[in-house]
Chains A and B, each alone.
Chain A
Amino acid sequence: MIVDIKGQNGGLVIIFGPGDIDQYINALKEKFESNPLLFKDFPVTFRGSSLKSLAPEELASLQRLCLDYGMTLAIPSSPKSTKVPTVSKNLIVRKTLRSGQKIIHEGSVIIVGDVHESAEVVAEKDVFVLGRLEGTVHAGCMGDLTSIVAAFRLHPRQVRIGDKISRPPSNSLPNDLPEMAYVEDDHICVKELLSPRTGSKRS
């Protein structure tokens, strides 16, 4: 969906999906035209990571469009909103990564799904997989050895943290428990995620 409009805390939130400025303007116009009274007088907030790719004047034209249809612009730091206005460096991927798919991100990556064999995740910080991790991961790709890799099922082909590389030993049966990999004494270690005291060295 190019744009989605939702009601929230007595105002409107417009969420921008992937698209360009012309698509946004057309989609908004279509929605506003369909029922002009529905939107009138409401404070509007813009959301969506696609907004970052817009030029300031393009953003302004979207705001002007809302004003033209009788809406007001919500003040971002209103006392109602309790969200910390920092730019999140986490990337949340809500899908399974299949063979040949690769994610590179300057921050931590959270994958809500599986990472299949021959898929790759490269992150500047941590990698969390809420699913099975069978592919290749590189956490702390810029050298941050405090980065970790955690997964509901940690069965990767290869784990890298910083400049360390580890492969699971070929004769070991994969553990069916949530686990995490981290660097200790220059080696990548793996331990169960839920019981922090048990640790076992892997390489």
Chain B
Amino acid sequence: MKKPSHECQVVVITSGKGGVGKTTTVANVSMGLANLGYKVVALDLDIGLKKLDLIMGLENRVIYDIVQVLEGECTIKQAVVKDRRNPNLYMLPAAQTRNKEDVTEEQIKKLIAELRKEFDFVLLDSPAGIEQGFRNAIAAADWAVVVTNPEISAVRDADRIIGMLESAQFNNIKLIVNRIRPEMVKDGDMLSIEDLLNHLCIDLIGIVPEDTRVVISTNTGEPIILSQNSLAGKAFSNIARRFTKEEVPFMNLEHNDSFWEKLKNMGRSVFSSKQVG
């Protein structure tokens, strides 16, 4: 493995509530960072409930897991799985047959200290919840990303998690709002970004619109960031660029009709009014 070109950043992606898109975020943002030329490793810390290997489409390549590394059964080099699309991207799978209590914060700290020497970015996929698994995931991170959905249950959990991160002396906590549906926000049926920021009072690092293709990409193990013309994919690649401190403006989701689409719609209305007339 070649030496990293930048100072390593260790980022934990967490949420409190399950199913908001932590693992999807980790898979896509790590792919995005690798595409930008950074050397990245994504760690699945959801021990006992591993998913990252599936979502990254690397399940067939898994030989060892993180618990075996921590217990000295194999080396880090043996356990990390190289991505088949991008040589800059690696993944360290969780153990499925073990528990979160089998891992300590000290072990994670030691492992990450090793990974820092080799990588530009270490992304930690935290399990849902606030127990040992969560504590392990935040033990060695430099900064944190909280993923939430625009619904009150996810927001309450995000608030709890932000409080716990603050108590653990995190001073850089960023928010990703995942699965937002601009048309519902417009109709007042969904919490808006302003509502969320107003309540959670932390900085935004990404807004990802709802996209049915994410389901397909999860099933096929091809992160959505790799598909063309997907707004969710574009949003994740913007997030990856913001991870590198690049200033990227937020996508305007409310007016995403292109010029041609607008023209087409206009043509249609003219046409139909003629017919009616």
Contact = CB atoms under 8 A, between A and B. Distances in A.
Contacts of B118: none
A118 B201 contact: no
B87 interface: no
A203 interface: no
A27 to B, nearest CB: 17
B196 interface: no
Interface string A104-121: 000000000010111100
B73 interface: no
B203 interface: no
Interface of A: 95-101, 114, 116-119
B156 interface: yes
Which of A96, A98, A101: most chain B CB closer than 10 A? A98
Interface of B: 130, 156-157, 159-160, 162-164, 166-167, 199, 201
Secondary structure dominating the interface of A: loop
B156 A117 contact: yes
12 contacts: A96-B201, A97-B163, A98-B159, A99-B163, A100-B163, A100-B164, A101-B163, A116-B199, A117-B159, A118-B159, A118-B160, A119-B163
B157, B159, B199, B201: most-surrounded residue (chain A CB, <10 A): B159
Contacts of B160: 98-100, 118
B156 A99 contact: yes
B276 to A, nearest CB: 43
Contacts of A96: 201
A117 B164 CA distance: 15
Nearest to A96: B201
Contacts of A97: 163
A56 B76 CA distance: 51
A95 B58 CA distance: 43
Contacts of A116: 159, 199
A114 B198 CA distance: 11
User: Which of A97, A100, A101, A118 has the most CB atoms of chain B within a 10 A radius of its CB?
Assistant: A100
Given A98-B159, A98-B163, A99-B157, 4 more contacts: A95-B166, A100-B163, A101-B167, A116-B159
Nearest to B198: A132
A97 B167 CA distance: 11
Q: What are the 9 A-B residue pairs with the smallest beta carbon separation, nearest first?
A: A98-B163, A99-B159, A99-B160, A100-B160, A98-B159, A101-B163, A99-B156, A116-B159, A98-B162
A90 B130 CA distance: 31
Contacts of B159: 98-100, 116-118
Contacts of A98: 159-160, 162-163, 166
Contacts of A119: 163
A150 B197 CA distance: 24
Contacts of B199: 116
Instruction: Find the residue from B157, B163, B164, B199 having the highest chain A CB count within 10 A.
Output: B163
A17 to B, nearest CB: 13
A25 B88 CA distance: 48
Nearest to B157: A99
A116 B202 CA distance: 14
A133 to B, nearest CB: 13
Contacts of B164: 100
Nearest to B152: A117
Contacts of B162: 98
Nearest to B156: A99
Nearest to A117: B156
Nearest to A118: B156
B188 to A, nearest CB: 15
Contacts of A95: 166
A95 B201 CA distance: 12
Contacts of A101: 163, 167
A100 B160 CA distance: 6
A114 B130 CA distance: 22
A1 to B, nearest CB: 13
Contacts of A114: 201
Contacts of B167: 101
A164 B163 CA distance: 29
A98 B163 CA distance: 5
Nearest to A97: B163
Nearest to B158: A99
Nearest to B163: A98
B167 to A, nearest CB: 8
